[in-house]
Amino acid sequence: MTRFAVIGLDHRHVYDLTAGLLEAGMTCAGYWPDTTDKRVLQGFCKRFPDLAAVLDRRRLIEDPAVDVIVTAAVPRNRAPLAIEAMRHGKDVLTDKPGVTGVAQLDAVVQAVAETGRIFSICFSERFQVPAVEAALELVRNGAIGAVVQTVNLAPHRLNPAIRPAWFFEPDAFGGILCDIGSHQIDQFLVFTGSEDTHVASSTVASVGPLPCAGFHNFGEIVLRSERAMGYVRVDWFTPDGLPGWGDGRLIVVGTEGSIEVRKYLDLDGRAGSDHLFLTDRQGVRHLGCADRPITFFRNFAADVAARGESAMAQEHVFAVCRLALEAQARAKRLVLPGGRPLP
């Protein structure tokens, strides 16, 4: 029986990571209750009342019976924790971003090479959105021909009152492109099958009133590869009136058709999430994908047992991290007034 331990209860994504591994048949050996946000710990205890708190962090790291360390720690702490875990024989599953700097990425790459352990990041906007996985299957089956471009729109709700202090410290979370943008870079790479991708341009902006000085609430990335182009927009402008935390969309343009995924809601009024619209020579079809099973966690569990890469290739993880860090580091920085709308 594969066993995992949870260290890093600092972001609510830890709920999905834990639930996913439990549903995949893994056993939780316990969790370290230290946190920067007591509300996350309270939510974790409410969701998983049968899991045991372990006050000694080192006990979980050094336990030879623990196979995997799961973390949603403060982002700047994830890579050091992952390296420590891998050097104690553990595989690692982390929330995004897995790294917040080039030096961290280099150290993780070295640790993976030296230990043979798995360093995986759950890019939830793909792995936990059934409609995105359905779209990827259609693309790989040739439904829209060769992919020309992907467009990812990823608005988020800020909810500043419930965010911990580190959320507003760029050194702590890596910046808006390193953080949210990593999801969209992951999707560009898999949908286009690109091997040689670079950041053509990137921008971050501070628009209007801010929760703190220097906070970037808008970002964009233009990607180019040997076979396709991509555009990414990320922001913290989801209005409170939207029934969900963001109207995330993925558009895939092919030589023989296009796909649009409305990940979390449909503004046209269809209920639920995971709406896929396929347009090709036969017309326009709507596919509801909410009932499609999520396979990432079972694949990850299988990879831990068999030392495989069915969930995600290790080099893909590193490629996403490199591009996200490059986009963040090279981004043009803008300050825009925002405030009152134009007459």
**Per-residue model confidence as pLDDT tens digits over 90-103:** 999 999 999 999 99
Domain boundaries, the chain: 3-122, 126-294+327-334
Query: Count of CB atoms within 10 A of residue 206's CB?
Result: 17
* Mean pLDDT of all residues belonging to the chain: 96
Residues 253, 259, 263, 268, CA torsion sign: positive
Q: Do 3-122 and 126-294+327-334 fold alike per CATH? A: no
Q: What are the beta bridge partners of residue 251?
A: 151, 260
Cβ contact 127:296 at 8 Å: yes
- In tens, the pLDDT along 54-100 reads 999 999 999 999 999 999 999 999 999 999 999 999 999 999 999 99
Q: Which residues contact 309 (CB under 8 A, 6 or more apart)?
A: 303
Instruction: Please tell me the distance from the alpha carbon of residue 43 to that of residue 24, in angstroms, as a whole number.
Output: 21
Whole-number Å distance between alpha carbons of 72 and 326: 23
Least confident of 141-145, 146-150, 212-216, 297-301: 212-216
Q: What stretches of 27-108 adopt beta strand conformation (E)?
A: 27-32, 68-72, 91-95
The C-alpha atoms of residue 234 and residue 42 are separated, in whole angstroms, by 29
pLDDT band at 340 (very low <50, low <70, confident <90, very high): low
Q: Which of 133, 174, 161 is nearest to 293 (CA)?
A: 133
Integer angstrom CA distances of residue 103 from 77, 320, 322, 332: 13, 15, 11, 22
Q: What is the mean pLDDT of residues 144-169?
A: 96
The full DSSP string for 227-285 is: S-EEEEEEES---TTSSSS---EEEEEESS-EEEEE-S--TTS--SS-EEEEEETTEEE
Residues 89 and 64 sit within 8 Å (Cβ to Cβ): yes
- Look at phi and psi of residue 65 and say left if phi exceeds 0, alpha if psi is from -120 to 50, else beta: alpha
| Per-residue pLDDT, 343 | 53
Q: What is the CATH number of domain 3-122?
A: 3.40.50.720
Fill in the amino acid letter for 323.
L
Range with the poorest average pLDDT among 86-95, 275-284, 323-332, 334-343: 334-343
Q: Distance of CA 81 to CAs 60, 61, 78, 180, Å? A: 12, 9, 5, 21
User: Which pLDDT band holds residue 341 (cuts at 50, 70, 90)?
Assistant: low
pLDDT at residue number 269: 74
- Tell me the HSE value of 204 on the side-chain side, using a 13 A CA sphere: 22
Give the CATH H-level superfamily of domain 126-294+327-334: Dihydrodipicolinate Reductase; domain 2 (3.30.360.10)
If phi > 0 it is left, if psi is from -120 to 50 it is alpha, else beta; for residue 81 that is alpha
Tell me the residue type at 125.
E
Residues whose CB falls within 8 Å of the CB of residue 244, separated by 6 or more in sequence, listed in order: 238, 264, 265, 273
pTM of the model: 0.96
- Which pLDDT score is estimated for 267? 75
Nearest to 205 by CA among 239, 250, 237, 161: 237
**Cβ atoms < 10 Å from Cβ of 243:** 8
Q: Which residues pair with 72 in a beta bridge?
A: 9
Specify the higher pLDDT residue, 110 or 209: 110
pLDDT of 5 higher than 90: yes
